[in-house]
């Protein structure tokens, strides 16, 4: 077996698992959380895009902050019942970053669904943010879609450690929506 074949097997294994366990929409959300625009990656079809995603992250490992561990963490958070570590083993850097990209126990995909369902439209989300997280409005700029604003709120809460506040507010003010998409905490 040549080294090219041996290096592509782990890529194929991870890509196959991503393809099998995530919908196209979930892959979009997962990559958005990682700061990667899946639509900018080549590849026709979901499996090809998954392969390109893994290959893209491998190329970036050499130039920027390692993201393979972040991809693994995102997969574990979104699909905690799946055994991911074996598929990722040959792709992870020898030394993992001390602070992963997801330093919280929350399932961002479920929270995104909650926000989109609870607010139903852009203005309701903007009003909620204006009342509860006024600093975030500077990030909402012109041309941002409703979905992008929900993602901005998720990232804002993640970076500032505001998950408890957001989740308490959602549970108190939108109990039916909150119940629909729970659990939000990832099991350990």
| The pLDDT value given to residue 99 | 44
User: What is the chain's mean pLDDT, rounded?
Assistant: 79
This prediction has a pTM of: 0.52
Terminal-to-terminal C-alpha distance of the chain: 38
Domain boundaries, the chain: 3-88, 108-181
| The pLDDT value given to residue 40 | 79
Dist CA 80 CA 82 (whole Å): 6
**Tokens describing residue 73:** 């963490």
- Average of pLDDT values for 18-42? 81
The pLDDT tens digits of the residues spanning 79-97 come to 878 888 778 877 776 554 4
Dist CA 16 CA 37 (whole Å): 19
- Average of pLDDT values for 114-122? 91
Dist CA 163 CA 74 (whole Å): 16
- CA torsion sign for 121, 123, 124, 125 is positive
Decide: helix, strand or coil at residue 4: helix
Beta-carbon count within 10 A of 86 CB: 10
């Amino acid at each position: 077996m040549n080294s090219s074949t041996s290096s592509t097997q782990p890529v194929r294994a991870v890509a196959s698992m991503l393809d099998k366990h995530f919908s196209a929409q979930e892959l979009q959300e997962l990559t958005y959380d990682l700061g990667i625009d899946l639509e900018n990656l080549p590849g026709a079809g979901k499996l090809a895009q998954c392969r390109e995603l893994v290959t893209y992250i491998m190329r970036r490992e050499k130039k920027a902050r390692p993201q393979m561990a972040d991809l693994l963490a995102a997969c574990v958070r979104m699909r905690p019942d799946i055994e991911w570590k074996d598929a990722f083993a040959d792709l992870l850097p020898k030394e993992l970053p001390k602070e992963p990209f997801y330093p919280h126990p929350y399932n961002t995909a479920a929270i995104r669904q909650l926000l989109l369902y609870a607010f139903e439209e852009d203005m309701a989300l903007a009003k909620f943010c204006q009342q509860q997280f006024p600093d975030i409005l500077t990030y909402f700029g012109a041309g941002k879609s409703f979905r992008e604003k929900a993602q901005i709120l998720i990232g804002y809460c993640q970076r500032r450690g505001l998950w408890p506040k957001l989740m308490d507010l959602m549970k108190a003010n939108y109990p039916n929506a909150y119940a629909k998409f729970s659990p939000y905490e990832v099991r350990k």
